[in-house]
Chain A
Amino acid sequence: EVQLVESGGRLIQPGGSLRLSCAVSGFSVITKYMNWVRQAPGRGLEWVSVLYSGGSAYYADSVKGRFTISRDNSKNTLFLQLKSLRDEDTAIYYCTKAVGNANKWFASDVWGQGTMVTVSS
């Protein structure tokens, strides 16, 4: 069964750092394009980052230079490193699998349950 399970979210002070994990089962993380998408409380969805199967990574302007997406092939896990956190980064962070690779990465057909990050002093 294809499944994504996120973890690592918690309450953290502004300026702090955090690493989110997404444990992947049912497929190899290295073979698929993987995304992080977030949703602030009561708000809509916001794409955060994508990691291509080939290793290239791209970010939303709002997180560029502060967040880093990566993966551990041996653990079949996707990560999102968050640094210099701001109040506006407070959100549920979802790990997602893209429908396909190349020009089919824009849609996500598998989503995790999400992990909550709260940035507050």
Chain B
Amino acid sequence: QSVLAQPASMSESPGQSITISCTGTTSDIGRYNSVSWYQQSLGKAPKLVIYEVDNRPSGISSRFSGSKSGNTASLTISGLRSEDEGDYYCSSYSDRATAVIFGGGTKLTVL
């Protein structure tokens, strides 16, 4: 199974900003604007926070933003709050896998 590369864990202080990276290849992130980001709190279902690289669903705070450069996508969370803690997953369509592929997830701790 193809997996996008994410840092396993990151931590930052409340009020600060953090950027989570997601690295793929020319078969996925590099070719398609189909990058999504999900937030998953402990014991809960994932929640979509960014889709199509930089679009926020209705109800998602403007503190969440997305971008892409080449084969790497990024999720930036500004003004970190304790409720931002959780696991963050990126995803993209892959024509090599002819499927949606996910990153391994990044555990975010807000100290």
Residues of A in contact with B (beta carbons under 8 Å apart)? 35, 37, 44-47, 50, 58, 60-62, 94, 99, 103-104, 106-109, 111-114
Write the B35-74 contact mask toward A (1 if CB under 8 angstroms, else 0). Answer: 0101000000111100110000100000000000000000
Taking a contact as CB atoms under 8 Å apart, the answer to whether B34 and A94 are in contact is no
Decide if A44 touches B104 in the complex (CB within 8 Å): yes
A47-B100 in contact (CB<8A): yes
Cα–Cα, bound, A18→B105 (Å): 29
What is the chain B residue whose CB lies nearest that of A114?
B45
Q: How far is the CB of A72 from chain B (nearest CB, A)?
A: 23
Task: Please state if A99 and B51 are interface contacts (CB–CB under 8 Å).
Answer: yes
Q: CB-CB < 8 A to A62: which residues of B?
A: 1
- Of the A-B pairs whose beta carbons lie under 8 Å apart in the complex, a sample of 22, sorted by A's number, is A44-B104, A44-B105, A45-B89, A45-B105, A46-B1, A47-B101, A50-B100, A58-B99, A60-B99, A61-B97, A61-B99, A94-B45, A94-B46, A103-B34, A106-B32, A106-B92, A106-B100, A107-B34, A107-B51, A107-B91, A108-B36, A111-B46
Provide the bound-state CA to CA distance between A61 and B46, in Å: 23
Distance in angstroms from A104 CB to nearest chain B CB is: 7
Residues of B within 8 A of A (CB): 1, 3, 32, 34, 36, 38, 45-48, 51-52, 57, 89, 91-93, 97-105
| Pair B36/A45 contact, Cβ less than 8 Å | no
Return the chain A residue nearest B58 by Cβ. A109
**Complex Cα spacing A2 to B97, Å:** 30
- Judging by beta carbons under 8 Å apart, are A111 and B47 in contact? yes
CA distance A34 to B54 in the complex (A): 22
Once A94-B46, A109-B51, A111-B45 are accepted as A-B contacts, the answer to whether A46 and B97 lie under 8 Å apart by CB is: no
Residues of chain A within 8 A of B34, CB atoms compared: 103, 106-107
Which chain A residue shows the least CB distance to B46? A111
Min distance, Cβ B58 to any Cβ of chain A, angstroms: 9
State in angstroms the CA–CA spacing of A107 and B35 once bound together: 8
A45 to chain B, nearest CB (A): 5
Task: Give the shortest distance, in Å, between A37 (CB) and chain B (any CB).
Answer: 8
**Contact, CB under 8 Å: A107 / B36:** yes
